[in-house]
Amino acid sequence: MVSLFNCRRVKHRPGSEAGGSLVEFALLSPLLMLLLFGMVDLGRWLYLDIEVTNAAHAGAQYGSLSLTNAHNTAAIQTAAQNDAPDFGTNLTVTSATTSCWCPTAPGTIVTCNSYPNNPCTNGTQIVLLQVHTTGTYTPWISYPPFTSTITIRGYAAIPTGQY
């Protein structure tokens, strides 16, 4: 009986394809390395973006504990910077309490500058604390649209004074 797989043998000359795989690898390895480092750099950028956003939330969360904390900008900045250890003091943190309202009339905005005096006749004042964070990211590899540093921004807004 004749096997279907062995019916035709291809004559192979030894040494005719020696080194072909090495040449293909040498031609493709720079492209593969660029792709690998690009993916790692993109992951690093996304990680730092999440870290800047979480730092804004940490600062806003600290400020939302009380009205005293909401107006303590140095402590809010410290809380945000402690939450972003990869940036440290290079993280810019700004906080503002620009929107206040009374619980009896949530649509009526009152001035926040009257702290610690309460402008609300009934109930306590609710302050909206807004925290903005900004950090800079420098890519390892200079890509055509991203040739220099990239600004990463974070934002959080939490009502205070109701806890």
pTM of the predicted model as reported, rounded to 2 decimal places: 0.72
What was the pLDDT predicted at 59?
93
Contact (Cβ atoms closer than 8 angstroms) between residue 70 and residue 127: yes
Confidence of residue 122 (pLDDT cuts 50, 70, 90): low
pLDDT tens-digit map of 32-51: 998 898 899 889 999 999 99
Lowest mean pLDDT: which of 13-27, 51-65, 66-80, 146-160?
Answer: 13-27
Residue 71 has pLDDT above 70, yes or no: yes
Nearest C-alpha neighbor of 52 from the set 44, 42, 41:
44
Contact (Cβ atoms closer than 8 angstroms) between residue 126 and residue 102: yes
Residue type, position 146, single letter: F
Nearest C-alpha neighbor of 91 from the set 133, 122, 56, 152:
133
Check residues 105 and 67 and name the one with the higher pLDDT: 67
* Cα separation, 67 vs 102, whole angstroms: 14
What was the pLDDT predicted at 69?
86
Lowest mean pLDDT: which of 3-12, 28-37, 85-94?
Answer: 3-12
* Secondary structure letter of residue 122 according to DSSP: S
Percent of the chain clearing pLDDT 90 (strictly above): 33
* Cα separation, 122 vs 15, whole angstroms: 94
Check residues 125 and 51 and name the one with the higher pLDDT: 51
